[in-house]
Each structure stands twice: as structure tokens, then as C-alpha cells.
Structure 1
């Protein structure tokens, strides 16, 4: 059996008097697409942030597959994240933004960043600045950023937010392709159709716990 990509054991998290999680446990299979459901305010985004170390659980353990973590690092190094509307430099093109981000780790070329844009349905040669992007275009750019460096774990909060019907179909196909490439994907969506179309497993935030749905 493959090592799980993510394991949560008895995780609890409280903000002031609001308890989001209490003794919550979950396993995410490596190489799968897993959907996370729950009403607004149930803690889905907070869970994502705890997985990547941006927030810490009050108690319990969150473990990532060791190869995702990196040697001696506090934050996982092989993870692509879309949480809370990523910010971009409005006066630059989409490709310019991705190339700027790629310079941080120097893992990919400009051509590879452009190829990622094409996979989500954006034209890397378009002169349009990001400040003039629609919500759906910004969403596609953020997804491209999340996988363009070969990240093997993707956390996509509201993966289909702002997308029109053709774009939803394109991103569904893309996620299936990324899974076939060996990526592990954890996503949220308020649309049950998205969950049904792409997810191998589904968990739900329920009564401060995490419950397998399928």
C-alpha cells in the first residue's frame, strides 16, 4: 500500500471561542483527487493552512509524506496552493507574474510557465495585464501557478470559482491529467457536480470532525 500523502490524527483547532476541529482525523491517498466539503465557515481553508504550516493545530498531528516535506524545513516544499485569492502584480501580464514567481526557486523555464498557462486555457503571449483579468482568468492563473513547477501535492480551495462552463470542463480534464501524472490533489468546491466529476474520495467537515463520504 502506498504511503498516504497526508495524515491527520486527532487534530483540534479553536479560534477564540469558536471550535473548528476537535479530534479530527483523515487520510489522503497518494495519487488521488480528494474532495473536501462543508458549509462556509466550517474550517476548510483553515485545514488547508494547517496542512502547509501556515497555521498550527492546537493539538494533534498532521503528517505529510516525507518526500513532500523537504529536509529540515518547517514548510512543505513540493506543494502547490490556491487559498484566499492569490495576489498578483496587476501591472504585469499573466506570464510575467508566473515568471517572477518561478525565479524564486529557479526550477522551471519561461517556456514551462507558458505551457502551464496554455493547459488552463490562458494565452501566455496575450498583452493583457492581470489587473484587467476576469475572476475566472485569475482563477486559472492561480491553478497554473499551483502546478507549473511539478508540485506533487496540490491544495485547491474552491478550485472552480468564477469559471464558465467550458472552463470548468477544461479544469476537470486538467485535474484528471495531473492525477495521471502522479499528483495528489485536495480540493474544495460548493458544486456537487464538480466533486462527483473529478474526486476519487470525498470527506466532509461535520460537527468539528472529518467524515468520509465516499
Structure 2
């Protein structure tokens, strides 16, 4: 348990009478790529939102790096995450978008932004506006932003395109945890998988 960077303990999330998560207990070791597999509506994205502190649990607990997550009180600053569809300014280039976000943190250099974009297969010198990006390109730009967050944990929920191999290698080589959430069937991921069954909602 000491090697686990995320620990979910008897997590339950209800929306009125609807149960999104029922008694979910799972832990994730640091330095590995993990995958959560489940059908539509099985609670994958809900679990991710609870992990990053965007949504409170009805009962149970979540720890990230040994800290209990309390929505509105504890938001992990060591997580780079994409929750659902990445949101960017459509009338600016990918680099300009990441530059705007980097300004908020005040610690990310232009060279780091360019490197992150190249690692996910995007050209940082391209003037193409994000509004003209394909879905896959926007998702890759979101991964680049997650890389720039420099967190120990990276969450990529419901990705429709595969994570580029260079990105997977980067996460593993740096000892960080890469975390992906997919609809089955899954084609290939070098990972240990957690299955979140649809029946957990009932």
C-alpha cells in the first residue's frame, strides 16, 4: 500500500436515486500505466472527477499522494488531467493556447511547451488555429498541456485516440503514473487494468 499513489476506499457517488459509483475500492501503484475499462455509464469519468477534487463523493474516501481529497478544500496540484473534451481558444494556435495556460503558472518556458507538443506529434511552429484541429489533434494538445503541468500523475479519461508511444515512454521513464480510461474493446496498452463493471451502478 505504501507504493500506491492513488487509493480509492469504498467510494460511492449518488445523484439523487441514481448510483454512479457503488462501493469502489482500488489502488494504483506509482510509476506504472493503469487503465480503467468500462461500458458507457459505468462511472469512469465520475471517478476521475472525484479523484481530481471536482466532484464530492457521497461516501468513502480518496487519497492522492497520501492526502485525502475533499472537494472545494483539497485539489491536487500534482495531477495533469484531461476531463472529457479539452477546452482551448479556437482562434489561436496550439502553441499560443499552451502559452496562455503557462502564463497562469508562471514557471513553464517556451522551450518546454515546444518539447511537449513535439512529444505528442504536434508542430509548435504551426499557425493553424485550434478551431481547425481534428478531434485527435485537440486531444493530443490536451495531453501536451497535462505534460506541462509537471504533475506526478496524469489522467486521460475516455480518449478516442491512442496515446502516442513517445508520451507513454516519457511517463514511464520519469517514474510518473499515467492513467487512461477507455471504452472496451481496448486494442493495446502496456498496462495493468482495472475493470469498472456496469453492474457497479445497480
Q: What corresponds to 1:192 in structure 2?
A: 186
* Matching residue within 188, 191, 196 for 1:205: 196
The answer to whether the 8 A contact 1:120-1:171 is kept is yes
Q: Which moved more, 1:33-42 or 1:149-158?
A: 149-158
TM-score normalised over the length of structure 2: 0.90
Structure 1 residue 67, shift from structure 2 partner: 7.8
Query: Residues 59-208 of structure 1: matches in 2 within 5 Å?
Result: 59-66=59-66, 74-159=74-159, 161=160, 163=161, 168=162, 171-190=164-183, 191-194=185-188, 197-199=189-191, 201-206=192-197, 207-208=199-200
Q: Kindly tell me: are residues 120 and 33 of structure 1, through their superposed partners in 2, closer, same or farther at Cα, counting changes over 3 Å?
A: same
Which residue of structure 2 aligns with residue 45 of structure 1? 45
Q: TM-score, normalised by structure 1?
A: 0.85
Structure 1: which 5+ runs fail to align? 210-214
Distance 1:68 1:186 in 2: 19
Give 5+ residue unaligned stretches, structure 2. Answer: none
The answer as to whether partners of 2:94 and 2:130 remain within 8 angstroms in 1 is yes
Mapped to 2, the partners of 1:68 and 1:96 lie a distance apart of 35
3-state DSSP of counterpart to 2:196: strand
1:40 counterpart SS class: coil
Runs of at least 4 residues off by over 6 Å: none
Number of matched residues? 196
Higher share in helix: 1
CA distance in 1, matches of 2:85, 2:117: 17
